[in-house]
Chain A
């Protein structure tokens, strides 16, 4: 239930649900909504949302009017990654824009469809996978998304296929005229022995509030390899909840990278289910925030089978009144012997008014494992600063250099050079301009 009862947003949401007409999946939506009604929106008393006063913010800033909002935008060039030769898929205010999208990979390499289309053409596959890993029970916002989703993507890579061109997904919200509430969803399946690289970018413009509730599920089957990169760069009053869940089978490999730069607040729930042996997962993240941004990363890695390896590095740099929240859970289930799981979370508070709340969490039920986590919060090394200053480098630049060095470690797992240099520039520019 909500914490403050300024008004009952849950009723408004319920009303919106009952008045809406959806094209597909009506039964499915109804059962998901039943879950949502049962749990309601999370209050700050709930452990998982202790530092993220999400319900209060929604009540304060939004009318629960989910009528599609329009956008007059006709070019998205400035939000693209320069020189990245990729399939481009664009969502504007939660709706798929065919005119702005461009699919270049042949159909034999990867099937890319909107979710509403896939409900008709691939209904059997959808029935097996959709909302099965990310269940409505797992999170109130996942339930809300399963009930309300406007549109989304269905990405299916056939067996033993290497998708040569990455998939670039742009989630664009235009709040120039009105508030925007958008809810989108992605289901991606990598069949045995396939390989795919995905880049997702979140951008918004306009001065009205944006609420983006995003859910995605990735099924990575045996011997497959998924590379997944997320860039959150919403300027303005943007509130985002992103539920991402990745299910790994035997011998699969996963590389993920999450970069959070802007937004009023951003909440990422990234869960990795290692349901196979000899899997490898690397997940890296960087939250580089200032102003009043709240960057909240909740990650879970759930080792359900033996002999797998996971490595997590999340770093945070907080300036202004920004706030960083990190919660990293490592579960090692009984019988998941010979698991190696490592986690590190390091934070730098640049300004006096920034804060960080971090909670690394290990839960181990198997004895023959090696697990560790480390986490730190501090500021730049005085001696390193002095070293640079004594060589004639200005204080601002010295600081920027050190912060850049601190941050850039997390870019290591990215394979695509174009993407890597783009992210590198984003980080460098940000550090130079703001610190």
Chain B
């Protein structure tokens, strides 16, 4: 199948599409990290005293913690003093309307395919755009406001809704949860905050776009979504970064909180710069994402399509505390060239009759390593808990690796847990079948891979599904050998 190899060569040598930079004047903190950096960030944001205290506490905890060594990824040690912890586009000022947004910025987002201005006319998606460290624009605010929905940048939320932030910040991911969560708690610069009041079904998709633009910076944003009783929201997150030779750190925290009967659907299309084909550069994506199904009958659903980043280290999890609560995790993780991914989920069953479902599809090509690491933990009182996990790996090329590390811990005898995993390559017989029917090899591979990932793509909102399919095609098409 030398033709297949050729196609693989061509496709995998394709350049990263979002690798441009924009000259935005930025306001930066000096390199390095100490208590003064934390104070600097807090002062820049004009934060109240309690939040500064919270940050400092996290910083002191972080200093005592050690970087985790257990993930199946390898990278040179990170110099935390060589990172700029705060970088913001300068011309921020106060924005009353989108017309006042820096035209460079608008262009940036147009390049990304997210036209902030056009979004105003198009119905359907409200966007909060985060560049480097700060939220630059949020659309549809008023319209959402009419329904009592709060959707704004994190710093705005701190000023306008301190009582909500105080109550929920760190309630799902405590500041000392892990090394990167603690670092984030100390230096997080901005992010999105969303609150859906009782009984409201959010009429449009809410969306955040993250972009790292400046060099040497780390991005540390924090997203907090709270769905009150009976509320529903679907939330999308996308991200890109320019091509640079050095590695950049992205350590975000996402917290989801659902009350009784509420539901949050969180979708991610992650396309950070993965490094060049020799493994140089790229983003270290070390993210903590967790949802707490606090109330009975609540539901949290994670969908992720991971194609970017040099290293991905993330486990979107569900803590199923309320009785009858439901957790879902759908993931497609694609690695190529020298990318490494260690990703998966945790389903912690605490309440009675809780259910969870895991569908993870890993695709590795080139010299990449792709790991699924997941845990299903059924606590003692979680009677009748139910879990089904399926994790499949597809290998393309003989130099990549696929790894599965599922932990299943059951403390209740009425629980029913099933886990299945397979590893294989695209079968020669499958390709042969397509060729026979006049479908060329490249199209055949696209067909098979898309079919393989379909179960996950079906969970994505429509616009995202299209984008995800394109991304997948870009990273993989034809890579059967």
Interface residues of A (CB under 8 A from B): 47, 334-335, 337, 347, 349-352, 354-379
Q: List 28 A-B contacts (CB under 8 A).
A: A334-B398, A337-B398, A347-B410, A349-B410, A349-B412, A349-B415, A351-B413, A352-B412, A354-B413, A357-B409, A358-B407, A359-B406, A361-B404, A361-B405, A364-B402, A365-B401, A366-B398, A367-B398, A369-B423, A371-B424, A372-B422, A372-B423, A374-B420, A375-B419, A377-B415, A378-B415, A378-B417, A379-B414
Best-surrounded residue of B398, B403, B407, B410 (most CB of chain A within 10 A): B410
**Residues of B178-222 contacting chain A, CB below 8 A:** none
Chain A residues within 8 Å of B402, by CB: 362-364
Best-surrounded residue of A367, A369, A374 (most CB of chain B within 10 A): A367
The 8 Å CB contact of B403, one of A349, A356, A362, A376, is A362
Best-surrounded residue of A335, A337, A364 (most CB of chain B within 10 A): A364
Task: Known contacts A337-B398, A367-B400, A379-B414; decide if A373 and B420 are in contact (CB<8 Å).
Answer: yes
Interface residues of B (CB under 8 A from A): 70, 393, 395-425, 481
Chain B residues within 8 Å of A47, by CB: 70
Interface contact A334-B408, CB-CB below 8 Å: no
Interface contact B407-A357, CB-CB below 8 Å: yes
The 8 Å CB contact of A360, one of B406, B415, B417, is B406
Q: Which 10 A-B pairs have the closest CB atoms?
A: A349-B413, A367-B395, A378-B416, A362-B404, A372-B422, A371-B423, A377-B417, A374-B420, A365-B401, A367-B425
User: 4 extra interchain contacts, Cβ-Cβ under 8 A, other than A349-B415, A373-B404?
Assistant: A362-B403, A363-B402, A372-B420, A375-B418
Chain B residues within 8 Å of A363, by CB: 401-404
Bound complex: CA A374 to CA B421 (Å): 6
Chain B residues within 8 Å of A337, by CB: 398
Chain A residues within 8 Å of B411, by CB: 355
Task: Known contacts A355-B411, A372-B423, A373-B420; decide if A335 and B398 are in contact (CB<8 Å).
Answer: yes
Closest CB of chain B to A371's CB: distance in Å?
A: 4
Interface contact A364-B420, CB-CB below 8 Å: no
Chain A residues within 8 Å of B397, by CB: 367
Interface contact A334-B413, CB-CB below 8 Å: no
Instruction: Write the chain A residue with the least CB distance to B480.
Output: A367
Task: Known contacts A359-B408, A364-B393, A370-B424; decide if A376 and B417 are in contact (CB<8 Å).
Answer: yes
Closest CB of chain B to A402's CB: distance in Å?
A: 15
Bound complex: CA A274 to CA B413 (Å): 36
Closest CB of chain B to A250's CB: distance in Å?
A: 22
Bound complex: CA A355 to CA B414 (Å): 11
Bound complex: CA A351 to CA B421 (Å): 28
Bound complex: CA A360 to CA B420 (Å): 9
Interface contact A364-B403, CB-CB below 8 Å: yes
Bound complex: CA A373 to CA B392 (Å): 10
Chain A residues within 8 Å of B413, by CB: 349-352, 354, 379
Bound complex: CA A403 to CA B370 (Å): 38
Interface contact B401-A364, CB-CB below 8 Å: yes
